[in-house]
Amino acid sequence: MIITVFPGQGSQTPGFLSPWLERDGTRALLAEYSDLAEVDLLAAGTEWDAEAIRDTRVAQPLIVAASLLSYAALGEAADASPAGVAGHSVGEIAALTAAGVFSAADGMRLVGLRGRAMADAAAREATGMSAVLGGDETAVLARLAELDLTPANYNGGGQIVAAGALGPLAQLAESAPRGTRVVPLQVAGAFHTRYMAPAVESLRAATADVAVTDPTIRLWSNRDGANITDGRDAVDRLVNQVASPVRWDLCMQSFADAGITGLIELAPAGTLTGLAKRALRGVPSVAVRTPDDLDAAAALLTGAHA
């Protein structure tokens, strides 16, 4: 069982879309996606600097657009589809699109709105996120509770992402739990926490009239790693997950329980394959960063890598 996964915010880097422009149709597709998301994705992915693409309004549609165009390119290269999909945070929009829950057009409209709504929510207070690497999970969670920080992402492989006000995040870095390393993340708010409640309502209203169908392939949820078979349930989880923790650790446990034999991460790739190497030891993976990675990904998807 080969699955594809879609990364979340923070995976973008300046110029990462440039290699993809060599593929026929990429510029036209990005122009279409730009109109839907209300962001100049071509400029953002090829010209803008790190600070510009850190903006939540830009980062979220940029990442989903890259995931969708690289997923389509993989399908062309392999002439095959994965057995299942999952997305980390905003990557769930790409995963639901790949699973046929809603169209790519609706996915790009939703991610544009999601990015704007979450940016507006983040602007209300100065907040951020930091990865806590290593240490004892119980001790880490206890320290976060002391500082009124939320464990926003349980990423597995010994990584928990803390989110909340900037002052407590600075305190966390200054007096980290024993055996841990604290790394501030390049995101502009405390995502997947109570600070995002206003964005939940905006996204819920936007999804009310979206045409939804049940997944055509296996789909796992960030909320609890469950396999979701009902399209409307998948959308409701997507909405609520904006203000609740990402349980990528449970997703990876579900991947293992399902017996996956390979994992492919779509652009802008690297983060999720890195986590998988620690939590899913022995499972081969391919990170599709540029079109040059498509052959290796196609070989894994079709079994030609063996």
Q: What is the pLDDT of residues 45-100, one digit of tens each?
A: 999 999 999 999 999 999 999 999 999 999 999 999 999 999 999 999 999 999 99
- Local confidence band at 304 (pLDDT 50, 70, 90 cut-offs): low
The CA-CA-CA angle for residues 268, 224, 222, to 5°, reads 20
If asked whether residues 10 and 131 sit together in one domain, one would say no
What contacts 111, CB < 8 A, 6 or more positions away? Answer: 37, 60, 61, 64, 90, 93
**Catalytic: which of 11, 34, 89, 254?**
89
The total of structural domains in the chain comes to: 2
Same-domain check for residues 66 and 83:
yes
Q: What is the DSSP string of 26-70?
A: HHHHHHHHHHHHTS-HHHHHHT--HHHHHSHHHHHHHHHHHHHHH
The reply to whether 205 and 249 lie within a common domain is yes
Pairing of strands 159-165, 150-156: antiparallel
Given pLDDT bands bounded at 50, 70 and 90, which one contains residue 187? confident
The per-residue pLDDT for 306 is: 46
Give the pair of three-digit tokens for residue 109.
Answer: 């409209």
CATH code assigned at 93: 3.40.366.10
CATH number, domain containing residue 135: 3.30.70.250
In this structure, what token pair is assigned to residue 219? 């789909």
pLDDT level of residue 302 (50, 70, 90 thresholds): very high
CB atoms within 10 A of CB 87: 32
pTM, entire model: 0.94
Q: In this structure, are 135 and 112 located in the same domain? A: no
The pLDDT tens digits of the residues spanning 86-141 come to 999 999 999 999 999 999 999 999 999 999 999 999 999 999 999 999 999 999 99
pLDDT of residue 10: 86
Cα distance between residue 182 and residue 170, in whole Å: 10
Q: Are residues 283 and 218 in the same domain?
A: yes
Cis peptide leading into 268, omega within 30 of 0? yes
One domain for residues 200 and 213? yes
Which is catalytic among the residues 11, 70, 130, 192? Answer: 192
305 is catalytic: no
Output the pLDDT for position 170.
96
Q: Are residues 235 and 266 in the same domain?
A: yes
Q: Do 268 and 296 sit in the same domain of this protein?
A: yes
**Quick one: what percent of the chain has pLDDT higher than 90?**
94
Domain range for 235: 2-123+193-302
Q: Cis omega (within 30 of 0) on the bond before 19? A: no
User: Do 66 and 215 fall within a single domain?
Assistant: yes
pLDDT score for 305: 55
At residue 157, the pLDDT reads 82
Catalytic residue check, 88 = no
